[in-house]
Amino acid sequence: MSKQLLVRPQKTPLKGVISVPGDKSISHRAVMLASLAEGTSVIHRWLPAGDTLATLQIAQDLGVNIKIDKRSEVAWDLTIEGRGLHGWEPPKKPLDCQNAGTGMRLLAGLLAGQSFPSVLDGSEQLRKRPMRRITDPLSAMGANIVSENGRSPLTISPSQLNGIEYRMNVASAQVKSAILLAGLYASGETRVYQPGPARDHTERMLQAMGVPVRTEGSWITLPEAPEGGWCLRPLDLTVPADPSSAAFPLVAAAIVPHSEITIAGVGLNETRTGILDMLQAMGAELRVHNEHVSGGERLGDLTVSFSELHSIDVNGDTVVRGIDELPVWAVATTQAAGVSQVSDAAELRVKEVDRISVLAGELRKLGVEMIESPDGFSVEGPIRPFGNEVDSHDDHRLGMSLAVAGLVTHGLTLVHDAGCIADSFPGFVEMMQSLGAKMEWIEQ
């Protein structure tokens, strides 16, 4: 049954204090690394979304015992009995990553060092995404990985891994993480050069588990393992609220007149705060309070109020720190005075879909002219979009971005194929309704 999302023009302010789901990137990594620890880990406020549930199931398929306490629809507590770095069991079938590109790329690094063969596969959508960016460096480490013309399924056979010195052409947390995770099984030192900032959740989590990963300038170094190999300490971790998920209500409150909302406990890792910098540069009234640290990650409460926005140019490091939030940022630019443009964002073209091309096509249905470039786009505002039927193209971030756009349109907006929103943000619609947003599910 296909789920559609009906959004009505928002005639009243958005108000309230909310929590958004736990960080998806950290939730993926917590399950993977806790399953390899020596001892039992406890993960609080873990995100049970489509992508992360795929990773959880894969861990279970590899013989990991996981106790689940379903605190709410969007927050689970997990107790994970680690099996040690070499304790996974051979899977009895291909491991299904579903739509999770992060899951597939990071697991490829870990599975490359195992003593058994495995196959990583996923949805038709995931099979279209490029995997050579991780299979090439892993192969350089000695991994035996066969792909389908640079795409999944990935067939991995046992091999002896060796540490390498690898220079990324483009900063990528997934590439860096795949190499570092494979490095846990490699002889010698593993070093990765990143030409700009990228998410560092893998490094932080490894450090918390006793692996002395070093960051020196642009180089990240995993030292040679001690005699007997690495022994990962168990985790006791509270997953921060996902800044990527927070971006949707943040933008909604910034563009719906007279709104003011607070989002509690959002991750403030500087590699993830590009959207906050972009909104503040546009004139959004955004305040951070109640800052604290949990598990090596900085958290805080965010309050955003409606304000008149102006256009900005976005490029370079800011793009890397806000790549997943650019679709909803594009919605914010429709309400900003002047021409906003983004460059250095070619990565958007190889996400779940070509997010530049698809978003431009869907916004055009709402009367918004988003001009594409090879590595970005531009939007001139302010403009009042008109309601229409649009489609998520089975991309969760596009689905939520179009829903936010529907709040400032003339007339009704109907988002087709919106069930994919649960891939990263189960409870999105209900959370927006709690703020007063006029949106509702329709099933056909």
Catalytically active residues, by annotation:
324
Euclidean distance between CA atoms 142 and 158, whole angstroms: 10
The single-letter code of the amino acid at 45 is: R
Q: Is the dihedral of CA 23, 29, 35, 36 positive or negative?
A: negative
The residues facing 78 across adjacent strands are: 43, 68
How far apart are alpha carbons 314 and 414 in whole angstroms? 30
Q: How far is CA 75 from CA 24, 173, 239, 241, in A?
A: 11, 24, 9, 10
Q: How far apart (Å, rounded) are the C-alpha atoms in residues 425 and 433?
A: 14
Distance separating alpha carbons of residues 240 and 28, to the nearest angstrom = 13
- Give the relative orientation of helices 326-333 and 355-365 as an angle to the nearest 10 degrees: 30
Enumerate residues 6+ apart whose C-beta is below 8 A from 100: 28, 50, 51, 52, 54, 55, 122, 126
Phi-psi region of 177 (alpha: psi -120 to 50; beta: other; left: phi over 0): alpha
- Asked if 292 and 264 count as a contact pair (C-beta separation under 8 A), the reply is no
Question: Which token pair is 31?
Answer: 């399950």
Q: Hey, is 238 helix, strand or coil?
A: strand
CB 17 within 8 A of CB 264: yes
Question: In degrees, to the nearest 5, what angle opens at C-alpha 182 toward C-alphas 144 and 21?
Answer: 120
Say how far apart CA 385 and CA 367 lie, in whole Å.
5
Q: Which residue has the tokens 């893998």?
A: 202
Query: In whole angstroms, what is the distance from residue 406 CA to residue 392 CA?
Result: 13
Asked if 142 contacts 115 with a C-beta cutoff of 8 angstroms, the reply is: no
Q: Is 321 exposed, middle or buried (0-12, 13-18, 19+ CB in 10 A)?
A: buried
Dihedral (Cα; 357, 332, 369, 339), 10-degree rounding: -110
